[in-house]
Amino acid sequence: MNMLAALKSISPVWRMGLLVLSVLVIATIAVAVIRRAKPQKDFSELAARVRAWWVMAVVFFGAIAVSDLFSLIFFAFLSFWAMKEYITLLETRPADHKALVLTFLAIPVQYFWIALPGRGPWYGMFIIFIPVFMFLILPVRLMLSKETVGFVRSASQIQWGLMAFVFGLSHLAFLLTVPSIPGTNATGRTLVLFLVFVVEMSDVLQYIWGKTLGRHKIIPAISPNKTWEGFLGGIASATLLSLAIRFLTPFSILETIIVSLMITVAGFGGGAVMSAVKRDFGVKDFGSVIPGHGGMLDRVDSLCYAAPIFFHYVRYFHSWD
């Protein structure tokens, strides 16, 4: 009882940190035991994934805990790196180069709306800058290059990347600005932790369930490794785990289950869409910056879809305006 009371006295962010630390320790021990028990099998990829999770967890919690400005820069960097990995794979024309410069300049502008002082974040400009202003400006910049061959392809692929990897991910940063929700321990930081933990655990558990029990392919033409068993098992497991971290949110038990189902399904959709993109490009991963995981975009693809949906759900049903 005393230990339970002591845990409750710790801030929600640090309680979450202890939980993640426990999960990583258990995962590390489990991999070591498996490798010792079955030395004939190659578990190097699994071991690399666990080591990468340690690094990513430390970096992420550090970015969340240091300061608001540092957190904002961190999420802006995620958008920049994801967009960079995507643009690197595009078959661009010389006429596209100035439009691409505008695309990367749009990243600090999008995050600037979140950072503005005074009356708080400029939600109006944040929500329309990319889907309205950049949607109109980019085709004009392409048109001024006076090259019509491939115009529609260039405009559509650049705009789509900007929407997914900058607009979508920037909702994580805006979520940080949510003030304390009355009657709960929930703040912007705790909501970000809840979202990222549930979505990423869903990805991990879908992988594990698919590897162990997967038999029936769900989208074989897009991602042959994704199975119905992995999809259903991963989402159900992540939803149950979400109840253990409900203290990070203002949600009831039923609402936690509904929200978790919503964001895990959205995350699966994001991952499946990015798998289709990789198929189109003919690559296995978007990069190799994270050992065992591929590129940055391979790790945030689910969040590109889940973050906007979660953000607007919280804003609508737990408005802080």
Task: Provide the mean pLDDT of the chain.
Answer: 87
- Return the higher-pLDDT residue of 98 and 25: 98
Q: Looking at the predicted structure, is the pLDDT value of residue 119 above 50?
A: no
* 251 phi/psi in degrees, rounded to 5: -85, 150
pLDDT at 305: 96
Alpha helices in the chain (DSSP H): 2-9, 12-37, 44-66, 68-89, 97-115, 123-128, 135-143, 151-161, 169-175, 188-213, 228-244, 253-281, 296-317
CA–CA separation, 227 and 229 (whole Å)? 5
CA–CA separation, 61 and 186 (whole Å)? 17
Query: Over the stretch 156-180, which tens digit does the pLDDT of each residue have?
Result: 999 999 999 999 999 999 998 888 8
pLDDT at 43: 67
Instruction: For 219-235, give one letter per residue: b (16+ CB within 10 A) or e.
Output: eeebbeebbebbbebbb
pLDDT at 180: 81
Both tokens of 68, joined, read 């608001």
Query: Over the stretch 216-256, which tens digit does the pLDDT of each residue have?
Result: 899 888 888 888 998 999 999 999 999 999 999 999 999 99
Residue 294 β-bridge partners: 290
Residue-by-residue DSSP string for 142-192: HHTTT--TTHHHHHHHHHHHIIIIIIIHHHHHHHTT--PPTTSS--HHHHH
Query: Over the stretch 292-316, which tens digit does the pLDDT of each residue have?
Result: 567 788 888 999 999 999 999 999 9
Query: Over the stretch 23-58, which tens digit does the pLDDT of each residue have?
Result: 888 878 887 887 788 777 776 766 777 777 777 788
CA dihedral 308, 318, 201, 7 (to 10 degrees): 150
- Return the higher-pLDDT residue of 318 and 54: 318
What pTM was computed for the model?
A: 0.89
HEC readout, 270-285: HHHHHHHHHHHHCCCC
Query: Which single residue is written with the structure tokens 């749009």?
Result: 106
Domain ranges of the chain: 2-317
